[in-house]
A and B are shown apart, each in its own frame.
Chain A
Amino acid sequence: MPRTRHFGAVVAGAAVAAVAIGPVSAQAKTTITMSGSTSIAPLATKLARGYGKASFRIFQGGSDIGIADVSRGRVSIGNSSRDPQSSDPGGLQFNRVARDGVCIVTSPSNPMSSLSIQQVQAIFTGRVRNWSDIPGAKVSGTIDLVVRTPASGTQDAFQNIFLGQSLRVSSSASQKASNGLVQQTVRSNKNAIGYVSFDFAKGVSAVPYRGVACNLRNAKSGQYGGVRNFWMVTRGAPKGATKSFIDYVRSSRGQRIVASDWVPIR
């Protein structure tokens, strides 16, 4: 008797399982997986929602993680906010999908009218350490540098756009592990200056660079200098579902979504 009941339970369990699995497998969509740059993740999420013809799993972790993941075939697309490097694994194709600005930001109580490339370099390398040495500063006292950790895409963009290869950020600068932490620190400290990805310039004062304001319009028109590329990296040329998604992102419909907060490529 107990044995029969047991058997019945198994049958019932199997039936439930079959019913539960049935509809899922019937309407399964292709899944596109992504990992990589935390700067690209919000854009990728928006694009995925707009696309609708596939389901998405989007992980972050940083540009290098995205590149490593895609080269090992762990994800279909690796998101990178830094340009290709000679040390990247071979056989990858970098597909440009958008551009993004790096804004120099100061506290809202210390809005700056303009900084030149020389001033940016002098401040961030630690040659100038006091706000009274910067014409136009609304505060006095020491300059607090807020930068990103060396391995981040934003730091990479700032280094490449503003400092070049030979200069280095002052060793006394305080390093933050995310754009949000830089934004928060600069907002609450009137002596601070830092740099953030375009999306994080709200609530802080974005400094015009070479007299051009750091905003979307100037970045789109190419007047603003502090701009970098967003890449969706694939192993070899994109194929199948991945190809149709990247084609969509680069199409005018996809670029309209890019334009909501970022800089479209055309």
Chain B
Amino acid sequence: MASYAPAGGALAQARKGVRSDQRAELLLGALACLVLALILGMIVFVFTKAWPSFSANGLAWFGTGGDVDQQLTDIFNSPANPKAYVYELRAWPLLYGTALTTGGAVLVGLVFSVLAAIFIVEFAPERLQRLLEPVVLLLAAVPSVVYGLIGILVVVPLVRDAFISEERKESVQFVVQLDGSSLAVAVLILTVMIVPIMIAIIVDALRAVPRQWTEGAAALGVNRWRVMWTISVRAVRPVIVAAAVLATARALGEAIMLSMVSGSKGFAPNPIDGITFLLEPTRPLAATIVDNREGLSAVPLGQTIYAFAAVLLISSVFLSFAGWYMKRRLRHVAIYGGAG
């Protein structure tokens, strides 16, 4: 339209354009501030709600002692009088369960996804590559409740029949019940859930490694595997860290699936038990929040659940910082965010 207008009009148009640019800048700035305010507001809100639980327990909140499920029941059954609210909670089994499931899944998933990404980028035949990449993206989009269903209908009974003998059950029967839903199944399915997104991210990064680098190495007579391992994977280390951070965040927040297959029991699996350790039930924080949603209207339980939410929120903030710091440390070899 501007091209048909006389010169003066074009100038006016241009000036108007500058002004609308400024307006857009202001608008976007305001939106960004709004997001920031929203996040801050959320953190403040969650902590205000959670405060009674933290202040009643002090640092012992994070400690061990007693049966955490019994403590949650007592909190739920608090009398109506606010002065008599029960808050006693030792949340260690839940924190430990979160760390075990998340850490286990991310570690296993990291190894698996780096190897799978190398295969897809470097070794898979063209046609397989064209098939694998959309399948990986599709898997990344499957809702977690579907994984939960498959877990409880297929994997849990399989694990029970294959690994849980009567002797194994009796060895721990006064402490905990083994029925197949366990730490191992939780880690397994969580790994399956987070691996696709990690593969997708790492594949993109490996593709972006400059060809001269890998070709240069190949020209020196290095084989494909060593080129991949010593050049490409090294170059994308910051991206691998980013993928791990993203996967950890997803694993931390996963609730429904873990509530279904982890055994949903506030129990800290004991590594001394050998293989039984993997078959013991546990329950991470996010799954605890989902499991107790029916009791939110009991005020002290609601505040305790907000305390769980606060811990998850802080963990993810720390996670972001840790990821950012590690990416900075690795910047000298990076193809993204610096020296590349």
Contact = CB atoms under 8 A, between A and B. Distances in A.
B134 to A, nearest CB: 33
Interface in B143-197: 152-153, 156-157, 160, 166, 169-170, 173-177, 179-181
Interface string A171-209: 111111100010011001101100000000000000000
Contacts of A97: none
A231 to B, nearest CB: 15
A62 B295 CA distance: 8
Contacts of B294: 61-65, 149, 151-153
A25 interface: no
Contacts of A173: 177, 265
Contact of B259 (A64, A141, A151, A177): A177
A149 B281 CA distance: 15
A41 interface: no
A168 interface: yes
Interface residues of B, number: 42
A194 B291 CA distance: 17
Interface string B19-33: 000000000000000
Interface in A56-81: 61-65, 67-68
A85 B80 CA distance: 9
B240 to A, nearest CB: 35
B171 to A, nearest CB: 10
A191 B165 CA distance: 12
Interface stretch (B69-77, B112-120, B243-251): B69-77
Contacts of B296: 64-65, 68
A85 B292 CA distance: 19
A174 B259 CA distance: 11
A174 B265 contact: yes
B73 A150 contact: yes
Nearest to B267: A172
A181 B152 contact: yes
Q: Which of B152, B170, B263, B293 has the most CB of A within 10 A?
A: B293
A185 B179 contact: yes
B297 A174 contact: no
Contacts of A153: 294
Contact of B179 (A67, A88, A189): A189
A202 B282 CA distance: 29
A59 B290 CA distance: 16
B301 interface: yes
Given A142-B166, A188-B156, 5 more contacts: A67-B297, A68-B296, A129-B174, A151-B301, A174-B179
13 contacts: A62-B293, A62-B295, A63-B294, A64-B295, A87-B78, A87-B80, A146-B179, A152-B294, A175-B69, A175-B291, A177-B259, A177-B260, A188-B160
